[in-house]
Chains A and B, each alone.
Chain A
Amino acid sequence: MSQPGSRPDPRPDGGRARELLARKWAYLLSGVAVIPLAVEELEHELREQIDALCAAAACDPVDTAAAERVGDHVVGLGYVGEDGLRRTVEVLGKGLPALPGFQRAEQAALVIGALAAGFLVANRRVVFEQQERMQLSLLKAVRDAKWHLKESEARFDSVVTSSASGIMIVGLDGRLVRTNAAVAEILGRTPAELTGATLFDLVHPDTVGMLREAMRAVAEGGQDRVRQSQRLLRKDGDVARISLTASLLRDPDGAPSHFVAVVEDGTELMLLQSELHRQALHDVLTGLPNRQFFGTHLESAVRRADPVHGVTLLHLDLDGFGMVCDSLGWLAGERLLVHVAQQLKSVLAREKAMVARFDGDEFGILVENTATTPNTAALAAAINRALAEPVYVDGHGLAVSASMGVVRGVSRNQEPAELLRAADQALRRARRGRRGQWELFDPGRDTADRSALARAVAMPGAWEQGEFTVRYRPVVRLADGGVAGAEAVLRWDRRDGRLPHERCVALAERTGFILPLGEWLLTIAAGQVRWWQRDASAVPLSVALTAHQATDADLVSRVVRVLDATGLPANRLAVAVPSAAVTAPDVADNLGVLAEMGVRTALRDLALGPDDVAAVRDLGIHSVRVAARLVELQSRADAAYVGALLPALVETGAVIGVDGVVTEEQAAWWREAGAELGTGPLFGPDHSAAGFHARLRR
């Protein structure tokens, strides 16, 4: 591709224009003809023919014999046939007059006419040759096999053969008797809408007279057939430019009975062809190359790969994409895919890379590495950063993350299929690594769930819009009712109401958005608590983590980052993980490292089972918080059962707290049973930072 402003084409003969024309010709021809040449070979052949045509046109008078030889040559390319000639005339009819050297209108006409004549002669010759050869073959076969061919009873009645063209059987009065699907397609109408209509209703008023005239002439026998460029009226109000050929059908007595008309969509042809080609190699939705194309490209890329740097193959799978579709619908999902496609392309804009869409929410990326290509980790991080930018779809701000399988290939002998398989396997491993977390987040997808899902996937956008605030829930000493700590909680103020902390967290947990959201909550709250430390009213900060956060491989680095940024001492922070999550991989490690740093660790949502007691002991947990549902259970009937489990817990030495305390009776019972701290409605609502501070100083 030449750059704007670069030097003009040095070739005086319009070499580039000829090349383009050859390419277009090859393109159209290969859509209808069987030619045993590769695309480039065919383009090369046709380029030579165009040169010959130009030379013929440049002669004065025009060298029609030379142009006829071109027609002969085109027939020799393969099975070209009438469709091939039609396309040839179309493309040259438009293209030749635009070439330098065609000043006079008749030059192109003469050249194309001569080409068609040469084509006709050669084609007839080829048909005769083939038929003769068939006769010979037949004779030979009969002779060879002493085989008697039953005489054919069938007569070859001259039927209109057709391709993708529209075909109509039209009454002498113009009424449509039968149409094929292509007609309906061209007109943008259903076949049902066409029954009963007349052809003349469908033709543009400006040109309908011309058609009536010609058809009358044919019916009266003055003319064999009609061939006109026409404009048909589409249902959507557009005009379809077509070429229409009509000839007469006669009944057994020889009287005219119907017309048969063939309609070809001229304007759409080029678009359609290129669109179809694009579709065959590209994904229609995103415009990215598809898996086929990617596979082919991979093959050549591996072969020409830089021997030192090789290629990098990434196989991506979007996390939580199914949820977007289930809650917001496929359309939203598709728009998200388009966005992802654009983001991926922009991330890789500086690399020699191909981004392809495989199936569904899977993408493939092939980077032909250079010395400046970022390493795999940096590349993966850049991709996830770009995807985390929310995009607004139907008012929902959506963001996604991707699991990736990455393979670096350096050997030119590497099998492309092998590379693809390896990347796929790596992706599966990446996904399996997360499954311990993700399985928890795959709830049944009933209809009632959909609105929740819709909220969940809209969270990133809402967060960016500032719809979330951090609130502070008092942690109270059961002994004297004094405030012993602040638990940071979320609140989401939506147009349709307010979502409390527990609901926000449950939703964010389902998409994985809890990771950035949780870090944000921690940062805001830690900064706030650090600020309060300036006076004597300082209390420790407590944050409840979800299962996903607890298993997050980056949990420690997130906490370190927050403590560094805010200056909050580690021992003023308590993180509470769900007791059900402690058996998941990494949780024990996370808690161990945090405890070493001085962060207070807690188990929450405690069910008071023997496993809980063991976990508290084994992991050196500082405090525990009994689940709100147990607090409620206790206050109803089964006090004995709940009480029986407490002594073992008290023995571990961990500070015991209870959540969800509603009544004075509950508070009293738990205080007696050995609990020190409590949270819940009994101790007042969540406060804003200012409100909480005021309460501390009260």
Chain B
Amino acid sequence: MARTYDFLLGGAHNFAVDRELAAHVERVMPDARSAARVSRAFLGRTVQYMVGQGIRQFLDIGSGIPTVANVHEVAQAADPECRVVYVDKDPIAVAHSELMLVDNDRAAIVHADMRDPDSILDHPQTRRLLDFDQPVGLLVLMMLHWLPDEADPWALMARYRDPLAPGSHLAITHVTADNQDERLTEVTDLIKESRSADQLTERPHDQVVALFGDFELVEPGLVGCAAWRPAGRGDIADAAEMNMVIYGGVARKP
């Protein structure tokens, strides 16, 4: 999915099969590119916000192909001291990230499955770069809708939140059907039919809010990710639904 996402963003970090899926998605949802763009823009604003809140270390779960406007670029542009740990389970994404980060000793990629938090939190790279006595910016973007309810994403998120120091921030984006017509269902079906092992579970607002646990959502709360502190024209999509199809929010550990 990460590579399809990259294609939707306009990148070439993908294979024919990824582009095929993207084309299918676009056929049903012609604005999928803008949804991808808007969610990417959310990532940038979130990281900038967190840096503004004093966060200097980031853990990005499901970073995919960290191409344009990625976390370490945004964060290190604000403060070169920022440290970033990327996590992905796709071996190609991991390989790509390793190639990309070869000269950056403040960023690293961990090859792990998000469903196994211990393997991520205890990974030597994580321990090397992140100090869990200090606030961490935890990014779980465009990931949790790949977990079905049976996998209990709420319990999973608790395991990520618990070891973080007070003042840590958590950002989540999550696909929702709250504001959608039937087109999203078609996309879901498409993804199911595709050979991707990932299955999409859209969730309603309250279920996404619950993923933040006892962290306190900062203003404006959990909203369509385009509506989360938009700062410019690039932060919103032309089609209103595309601004609302992905929920985004940032919460702070009290």
Task: Mark A residues whose CB is within 8 Å of B.
Answer: 26-27, 30-36, 38-39, 42, 78-81, 83-84, 126-127, 130-131, 133-134, 136-138, 140-142, 144-145, 147, 152, 154-157, 159, 161-165, 167, 180-182, 272-273, 276-277, 279-281, 291-292, 295-296, 416-417, 420
Confirm or deny: B83 has a beta carbon within 8 angstroms of a beta carbon on chain A. no
Of the stretches B28-36, B115-123, B139-147, B161-169, the one at the interface is B28-36
Partner pick for B226 among A141, A162, A280, CB 8 A cutoff: A280
Q: Assuming the A-B contacts A130-B11, A156-B20, are A31 and B234 also in contact, with contact meaning beta carbons closer than 8 angstroms in the complex?
A: yes
Smallest Cβ-Cβ distance to B41: which chain A residue? A34
Confirm or deny: B113 has a beta carbon within 8 angstroms of a beta carbon on chain A. no
Question: Given the complex of chains A and B, what is the CA–CA distance between A561 and B92 in angstroms?
Answer: 83
Helix, strand, loop or mixed for chain A's interface?
helix
Question: Given the complex of chains A and B, what is the CA–CA distance between A30 and B233 in angstroms?
Answer: 6
13 contacts between A and B (CB under 8 A): A30-B232, A32-B34, A34-B40, A36-B74, A39-B234, A131-B12, A136-B95, A137-B93, A137-B99, A162-B30, A164-B30, A181-B30, A295-B229
Smallest Cβ-Cβ distance to B227: which chain A residue? A292
Question: Given the complex of chains A and B, what is the CA–CA distance between A156 and B10 in angstroms?
Answer: 17
A-B interface pairs (CB < 8 A), number:
153
Confirm or deny: B44 has a beta carbon within 8 angstroms of a beta carbon on chain A. yes
Confirm or deny: B17 has a beta carbon within 8 angstroms of a beta carbon on chain A. yes
Of the stretches B152-160, B170-178, B199-207, B235-243, the one at the interface is B235-243
The 7 closest A-B pairs by CB, nearest first: A30-B234, A36-B69, A79-B10, A137-B96, A39-B232, A156-B16, A130-B12
Nearest Cβ in chain B — how far from A442, in angstroms?
A: 29
B233:A141 contact, CB within 8 angstroms: no
Question: Given the complex of chains A and B, what is the CA–CA distance between A27 and B11 in angstroms?
Answer: 21
Confirm or deny: B13 has a beta carbon within 8 angstroms of a beta carbon on chain A. yes
A141:B92 contact, CB within 8 angstroms: yes
Confirm or deny: B9 has a beta carbon within 8 angstroms of a beta carbon on chain A. yes
Partner pick for B95 among A140, A279, A420, CB 8 A cutoff: A140
Nearest Cβ in chain A — how far from B142, in angstroms?
A: 14
Question: Given the complex of chains A and B, what is the CA–CA distance between A182 and B31 in angstroms?
Answer: 10
Question: Given the complex of chains A and B, what is the CA–CA distance between A39 and B230 in angstroms?
Answer: 11
Helix, strand, loop or mixed for chain B's interface?
helix
Partner pick for B233 among A78, A126, A130, A277, CB 8 A cutoff: A277
Chain B residue contacts of A126, Cβ below 8 A? 12
B37:A34 contact, CB within 8 angstroms: yes
A163:B33 contact, CB within 8 angstroms: yes
Confirm or deny: B114 has a beta carbon within 8 angstroms of a beta carbon on chain A. no
Question: Given the complex of chains A and B, what is the CA–CA distance between A36 and B93 in angstroms?
Answer: 20
Nearest Cβ in chain A — how far from B161, in angstroms?
A: 21
Question: Given the complex of chains A and B, what is the CA–CA distance between A272 and B237 in angstroms?
Answer: 11
A292:B229 contact, CB within 8 angstroms: yes
Question: Given the complex of chains A and B, what is the CA–CA distance between A141 and B69 in angstroms?
Answer: 23
Question: Given the complex of chains A and B, what is the CA–CA distance between A33 and B91 in angstroms?
Answer: 28
Smallest Cβ-Cβ distance to B14: which chain A residue? A134
Nearest Cβ in chain B — how far from A278, in angstroms?
A: 10
Chain A residue contacts of B219, Cβ below 8 A? 295, 416-417, 420
Chain B residue contacts of A417, Cβ below 8 A? 218-219
Question: Given the complex of chains A and B, what is the CA–CA distance between A164 and B15 in angstroms?
Answer: 24
Confirm or deny: B94 has a beta carbon within 8 angstroms of a beta carbon on chain A. yes
A36:B9 contact, CB within 8 angstroms: no
B16:A152 contact, CB within 8 angstroms: yes
A79:B220 contact, CB within 8 angstroms: no
Question: Given the complex of chains A and B, what is the CA–CA distance between A279 and B236 in angstroms?
Answer: 10
A161:B234 contact, CB within 8 angstroms: no
A39:B233 contact, CB within 8 angstroms: yes
Confirm or deny: B231 has a beta carbon within 8 angstroms of a beta carbon on chain A. yes
Nearest Cβ in chain B — how far from A42, in angstroms?
A: 8
Chain B residue contacts of A272, Cβ below 8 A? 238
Q: Assuming the A-B contacts A34-B69, A38-B232, A145-B91, are A80 and B10 also in contact, with contact meaning beta carbons closer than 8 angstroms in the complex?
A: yes
Q: Assuming the A-B contacts A31-B238, A147-B91, A154-B17, are A163 and B30 also in contact, with contact meaning beta carbons closer than 8 angstroms in the complex?
A: yes
A84-B10, A156-B19, A273-B233 are known contacts; what are 9 more A-B pairs with Cβ within 8 Å?
Answer: A34-B37, A36-B69, A134-B12, A136-B99, A140-B95, A142-B91, A144-B91, A164-B30, A164-B34
Chain B residue contacts of A32, Cβ below 8 A? 33-34, 37
Question: Given the complex of chains A and B, what is the CA–CA distance between A144 and B92 in angstroms?
Answer: 10
Instruction: Return the CB mask of B1-30 against A: 1 if under 8 Å, else 0.
Output: 001000001111111110110110011001
Smallest Cβ-Cβ distance to A77: which chain B residue? B68
Chain A residue contacts of B73, Cβ below 8 A? 36
A133:B13 contact, CB within 8 angstroms: yes
Q: Assuming the A-B contacts A30-B232, A162-B30, are A280 and B16 also in contact, with contact meaning beta carbons closer than 8 angstroms in the complex?
A: no
Partner pick for A162 among B19, B26, B95, B230, CB 8 A cutoff: B26
Nearest Cβ in chain A — how far from B174, in angstroms?
A: 19
Question: Given the complex of chains A and B, what is the CA–CA distance between A591 and B254 in angstroms?
Answer: 51
Question: Given the complex of chains A and B, what is the CA–CA distance between A126 and B10 in angstroms?
Answer: 11
Chain B residue contacts of A159, Cβ below 8 A? 23, 27
Question: Given the complex of chains A and B, what is the CA–CA distance between A586 and B69 in angstroms?
Answer: 62
Smallest Cβ-Cβ distance to B45: which chain A residue? A38
